[in-house]
Structure 1
């Protein structure tokens, strides 16, 4: 009789995991559809195939992208994400931290000979 409860608990746990996974997938799909609905000219985007471009026109499900002088038309669902512009301040801060780490006088144990 205890084996029956174990099987029921395992099946219940699998059911909960499948439900939770499906819920998360639906939430991601809704978020992707929401950002695609908000596409507007001037935004820099990346397609699912890795093409970077700037939105120049939105006509229903057709999105016109311009990149380095070339123009192409994409299906709205092909747009994977909006690319956030990089700020120079954050790049400088990362470089400062890299310089601090490189000039750290603390010896590393791997640099010491083993006896």
Structure 2
């Protein structure tokens, strides 16, 4: 009798678990089918961007990131943007003060005056590593002389 109750409980857990995952998969598939240019999406790896083009035959989505780079992604790697990562829509987009937004030379990005601009490359890393090695070499030379 106890064994029968255990089997029934296990079957019920399996049923509810699989039905929930099927429902999530169905919702994701519906979202992917409704993809069109202009929709903000997030990839499985966490990149947020706007759909530029959709190729349903090849199952490819072309996404433009905020810095202007356009990349191709397979449809299963694209999902809806969670609310916490979605780009906020300004309430009054006409009231943007030109003094609050600056454009960097050589790029199309605009940043506010209180935003720290982080470079996209790691070219400064070489000089930091070189300085660290030089500092370690000086320390080694100091300890050798004592």
TM range (shorter): 0.5 to 0.7
- Deviation at residue 62 of structure 1 after TM alignment: 0.8
1:85-108 superposed Cα distances (whole Å, 9 cap, x missing partner): 42557xxxxxxxxxxxxxxxxxxx
- Deviation at residue 20 of structure 1 after TM alignment: 1.2
The 8 Å contact of residues 43 and 82 in structure 1, kept in 2 or not, is answered as no
The residue number in structure 1 matching 2:39 is 43
Matches of 1:51 and 1:66 in 2, distance apart?
10
Instruction: Structure 1 unaligned segments of length 5 or more: list them.
Output: 90-115
- Deviation at residue 6 of structure 1 after TM alignment: 1.0
The 8 Å contact of residues 41 and 78 in structure 2, kept in 1 or not, is answered as yes
TM-score (norm 2): 0.54
The 8 Å contact of residues 31 and 79 in structure 2, kept in 1 or not, is answered as no
The residue number in structure 1 matching 2:2 is 6
Q: How does 1:1-115 map to 2 (within 5 A)?
A: 5-60=1-56, 61-67=59-65, 68-82=67-81, 84-87=86-89
- SS where residue 28 of structure 2 aligns? helix
TM-score (norm 1): 0.68
Instruction: Structure 2 unaligned segments of length 5 or more: list them.
Output: 92-146
Choose between structure 1 and 2: higher helix proportion. Answer: 1
